Amino acid sequence: MDVAKLGLELERFLHDQRLWQPDNLAGRAEALAFVSYLRQVARARRHLPAMVALYEEAVRYAEQWAAITEQIVADARHRIVTGQWRGARLRPVLDRYTAYRRGETGVDHLDHDGLDVWVRGVFAPQPTPPETRPRSPEMVHLEQTPARVLLELIDRLCPTPTAHFFDLGSGLGQLVLLFHYLTGLPATGVEVEAAYVGYARRQAVDLGGGHVTFLHADARTADLHAGTLFFLFTPFTGDLLQTVLERLCHVAQHHPIHVAAYGSCARPIARQRWLQPLDDHAEHPFKLALFGSR
């Protein structure tokens, strides 16, 4: 990589006054990612004084940008722990960091935005722990769901006081925690990786989570009967997915349920005869697709 070109890119960030605006979490995340890339290049080209000097200049600004975001996250965690930001009082806070607005339907949630920086910082601030077991070929790797997908889900379904949210393949637990703090309703994460479950449980304790549960279980055998609203961000595929859907069908024989899908899993879910599509989004992997049991 040409040092001069990297210098021009750094100058673009240094002259962007928006990076000093507190709510611009996405912009600072992009800038910090670039500085992280510069670190890698500087290590590989330690013999180039210009490259080392460029990185050292970037670090001075990166420390200030990171401090702004860290203060926002620390304040948010404090307000959640103390109960100041929950339910209706939390939603306006989240709206600061995303272009999504209540009532929008069928939008593409392709990229992550500032809200995802906020959610990761507040609900999953420590590094991701290493996995303790190999994944089967039909299990999908960990990836953070764009948080605005959950906002759209809540806006469209308007969960009732009897709703119980299940995130199948809940990873580090951000979506489960966010749902609970936005609605006050019970929320359960089902995750097969023990390290992720332990991580999510610790965050729930630290944040003072109420009706939040994280099950260390395989979705094919976990107890799902309390659920009324199930979310899947393509946690698994193929026969594994079909087995889980058959279990959800069994749950739906006892009480009505909704299934929310994001990603490529929406298409096979749409083929389930026991489910009624509530939109035409199943063919679009970056749109939220909703289904209700017949």
Distance CA 287, CA 108 (A): 5
Asked whether the predicted pLDDT for residue 165 surpasses 90, the reply is: yes
Query: What pLDDT score was predicted for residue 1?
Result: 62
236-241 CB contacts, 8 Å cutoff, 24+ apart: 236/138, 236/139, 236/140, 236/169, 236/265, 237/138, 237/140, 237/264, 237/265, 238/137, 238/138, 239/138, 240/136, 240/138, 240/139, 241/138, 241/265, 241/268
pLDDT at 203: 97
Which sequence spans correspond to the domains of the chain?
Answer: 3-83, 88-293
Mean pLDDT, the chain, as a whole number?
Answer: 96
**pLDDT class for 47, splitting at 50, 70, 90?**
confident
User: So what's the pLDDT on residue 123?
Assistant: 97
Q: Between these two residues, 52 and 289, which has the higher pLDDT value?
A: 289
What local confidence, expressed as pLDDT, does residue 240 receive? 98
Look up residue 188 and give its two tokens: 């359960």
Architecture of domain 88-293: 3-Layer(aba) Sandwich (3.40)
Summarised one tens digit per residue, pLDDT across range 179-202 is 999 999 999 999 999 999 999 999
Predicted local distance difference test score (pLDDT) of residue 35: 95
**Per-position DSSP letters for 33-77, written without gaps between them:** HHHHHHHHHHHHTTT-HHHHHHHHHHHHHHHHHHHHHHHHHHHHH
To which residue do tokens 């359960």 refer? 188
pLDDT digits (tens, 9 = 90+) for 90-147: 999 999 999 999 989 889 999 999 999 999 999 999 999 999 999 999 999 999 999 9
Residues whose CB falls within 8 Å of the CB of residue 35, separated by 6 or more in sequence, listed in order: 55, 58, 59, 61, 62
What's the confidence (pLDDT) of residue 44? 87
**Which residues have CB under 8 Å from 49's CB, separation 6+?**
none
